């Protein structure tokens, strides 16, 4: 059964805790991303862990190898279970991050490949090369992360089948951009429903506004789980 990660993409502690109180254990993980971490800091993780919640810290670390390794150690000490680094940081950075995580264990590292807000045109403009395939770039970056010893990848469900074929069942695939049928895409381009993502090989689903902005977030999250389970 795929696990559901609820993104606490809200601007302050109070709104985050209201969501957590309302959703409770209906979510398997809570994601602390850049917005909440910038507003609340590491206490966001500490307080969620104090409430017994599993935390996915999504900071997409991207810096020189030593700096990223030290950040991984700090996240591990906070009790973060899932942590993102950006694959574009390169092989040396990824290797240093993996080595830091392995010192004591407990924190699984995920490499972000290509953001779900990007399509092939935007990817080509970013890298200065026309005609780039999003899927091929995701696989290329994913292979570098796997070879560096990371535990999993963050990628759209559109690329999940290829990643599963390339890297096998042990590689964790975390898929953002999850939308309920008929829901808006917001600023993401490569999105899927929960059932579609699971059917394509996703292990964990990251759901944000489809749940947190719903009139009834608890029922919306239950619908996500029903759709994922049916797949």
Residue numbers annotated as active site:
60
Closest listed residue to residue 171, CA positions, set 198, 206, 146: 146
Secondary element (H or E) of residue 30: strand 29-32
Q: Which two tokens stand for residue 87?
A: 């694959």
DSSP H or E stretch at residue 83: strand 82-86
The residue to which tokens 């947190």 are assigned: 212
Token representation of residue 21? 């109180």
Q: How far is CA 157 from CA 97, 175, 184, 206, 210, in A?
A: 25, 6, 17, 11, 16
* Strand ranges for 101-212 from DSSP E: 108-112, 152-154, 172-175, 204-207
Residue 168 contacts by C-beta under 8 Å, 6 or more apart in sequence?
Answer: none
Beta-carbon neighbour count of residue 221 at 10 Å? 22
Structure token pair of residue 8: 């606490």
């Amino acid at each position: 059964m795929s696990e559901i990660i609820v993104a606490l993409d809200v601007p302050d502690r109070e709104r985050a805790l209201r969501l957590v109180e309302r959703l409770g254990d209906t979510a398997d993980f809570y994601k602390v991303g850049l917005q909440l971490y910038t507003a609340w800091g590491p206490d966001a993780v500490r307080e969620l862990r104090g409430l017994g919640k599993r935390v996915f810290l999504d900071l997409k670390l991207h810096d020189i190898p030593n700096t990223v390794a030290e950040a991984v150690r700090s996240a591990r000490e906070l009790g973060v279970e899932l942590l993102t680094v950006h694959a574009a940081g390169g092989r040396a950075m990824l290797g240093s991050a993996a080595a830091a995580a392995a010192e004591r264990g407990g924190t699984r590292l995920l490499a972000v490949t290509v953001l779900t807000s990007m399509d092939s045109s935007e990817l080509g403009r970013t890298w200065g090369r026309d005609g780039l395939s999003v899927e091929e770039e995701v696989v290329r970056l994913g292979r570098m992360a796997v070879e560096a010893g990371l535990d999993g990848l963050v990628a759209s469900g559109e690329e999940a089948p290829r990643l599963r074929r390339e890297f096998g069942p042990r590689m964790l695939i975390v898929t953002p951009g999850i939308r309920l049928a008929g829901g808006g895409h917001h600023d993401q381009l490569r999105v899927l429903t929960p059932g579609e993502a699971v059917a394509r090989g996703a292990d964990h689903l990251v759901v944000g506004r489809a749940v947190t902005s719903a009139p009834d977030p608890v029922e919306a999250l239950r619908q996500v789980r029903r759709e994922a389970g049916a797949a």
